[in-house]
Amino acid sequence: MSLIDDLKARLHAAEAGGPAAVEHTLSEVQADIMGFLERLQAHVLQNPEPVFDVLRRVKPILLVKNFALVTRFDDVQEVLSRDDIFQVTYGPKMRVITGGNDFFLGMQNSPEYERDVAHMRTVVRRSDMPAIAAFVSKAAQEIVAQANGTLEVVNQLSRVVPARWIADYFGTVPPSDRELADWGSIIFQYLFTDLKNDPAVGSAAQEAAGKARKWLDDCIAQRKASGEQRDDVLGRCLALESIGAPGMDDLGIRNNLIGLITGAIPTTSKCCAQALDQLLQRPDVLAQAQAAAASGNAALFAAYVFEALRFNPNNPGIFRIAAEDYTVAKGTLRATTIPKGASVLPATQSAMFDDAKVDSPHDFRVDRPAWNYMHWGYALHTCFGQYINQIQIPAILQPLVAKPGLRRAGDLEYTGPFPSSLKVTFVG
């Protein structure tokens, strides 16, 4: 029996009890309908691709009032590449988190943006990737080995490993792995996913940011007081400060570090949990991924992880604000003028399923070219940590997926926008 038929039958049965019974049943039916709509909304938010699929064919650029949803591959890239028109929205909230100054993720393309990004690329180096990979692999192996065949992936693995390598690589030891992960999660939620500006989220984020600022201030002061010369991210920042590099005073260092750390833990954990969940949904694919993991073929295993992540990526898209009127896909039948001030969501998840660009998009394939993926965004504000994430996310999962008999012991659960639990069991 369908939901509608069930509701009709209940109302019909209630009529025999008179007006009071009908009124009571109507109240119950209304509650059931609202509950159904809430579950439907949650399902669509977690699995928007069926909606995107329809829009790509019927209305690729959907403009409703002051909101535009962009779903085609080429159009998504056009929006993200025109950073002069479609600008980032995070600046005001970034300044709340840092206590008054901006972090480059919230900046437009400007001399300050180029300066801060250049400084951070000087201290977070691609040449460090092998050392990061080794640390992450060792930490993940130790956690899996100590799990005795049962593991809660989110709180015991995917949040813990990033917190540990940050403490080691950044040279900023937190009060605890859990506290650092919690700070990062609530700050990230406030900055990037709290579209309704929930006062409770804002209050929690400001409290977490205050603690994170004090922690980093203490780390900076203690390192300077010790006189220790250490080759980690903090040490490299202080070396730039010592030569008078613009923007690299104690406050500038703190702002950059809090921005990088905020993005490092919750997104990594989310990607690990969601990629693993997708593998667990596909037993044949999981077996292939396990063979790659067990053989030590890191590149092949990473291909399985990032293809799995395509089906449930970190975010369905990236918000922007139109600084002026602009026509997307000009010269095509889908050309749409987005007005100044409109909120715009270039849906990177949808772009990765656009069959005009991506071959057999609904098939699970590990032979896709790298340009098919938009896990890290596109153009100016491409994820700063993309090279770390490309090695870190698979490295966290590989020791676990290599275990024989791996299977889920619970559904992937969420608290707010982030996974909160995914239980698995395995042999060994």
- Give the pLDDT band of residue 337 (cuts 50, 70, 90): very high
Question: Could you read off the pLDDT of 224-259 as tens digits, one per residue?
Answer: 999 999 999 999 999 999 999 999 999 999 999 998
HSE-CB at 206 with a 13 A cutoff on CA atoms is 13
Q: What is the rounded CA–CA span in Å between residue 79 and residue 405?
A: 44
Numbered ranges of CATH 1.10.630.10 in the chain: 49-425
Question: Could you read off the pLDDT of 288-305 as tens digits, one per residue?
Answer: 999 999 999 999 999 999
* 254-276: average pLDDT: 92
Q: Which tokens hold the place of 201?
A: 């989220």
Query: Residue 334 carries which DSSP code?
Result: T
Question: Could you read off the pLDDT of 22-81 as tens digits, one per residue?
Answer: 566 656 655 655 554 455 445 556 678 999 999 999 999 999 999 999 999 999 999 999
> What sign has the CA pseudo-torsion 162, 267, 158, 373?
negative
Question: Could you read off the pLDDT of 87-144 as tens digits, one per residue?
Answer: 988 888 888 998 878 788 778 888 998 999 999 999 999 999 999 999 999 999 999 9
**Residues whose CB falls within 8 Å of the CB of residue 220, separated by 6 or more in sequence, listed in order:** 234, 238, 250, 253, 254
For residue 344, the SS3 value is strand
pLDDT at residue 36, rounded to an integer? 46
Tell which CATH classification among 1.10.10.60, 2.40.30.10, 1.10.1370.30, 1.10.630.10 matches the domain 49-425. 1.10.630.10
Going from the C-alpha of 401 to that of each of 41, 144, 313, 324, 426, the distances in angstroms are 32, 10, 19, 48, 9
pTM metric for this prediction = 0.87
Q: Which tokens hold the place of 92?
A: 């005001």
CB 404 within 8 A of CB 428: yes
Question: Could you read off the pLDDT of 368-400 as tens digits, one per residue?
Answer: 999 999 999 999 888 889 999 999 999 999 999
Element (H, E) at 421: strand 418-421
Percent over 70 (pLDDT), the chain: 90
pLDDT at residue 333, rounded to an integer? 96
Higher pLDDT, 16 or 212: 212
Q: What is the rounded CA–CA span in Å between residue 269 and residue 182?
A: 12
CB 53 within 8 A of CB 72: no
Rg (CA), the chain: 24
pLDDT at residue 202, rounded to an integer? 93
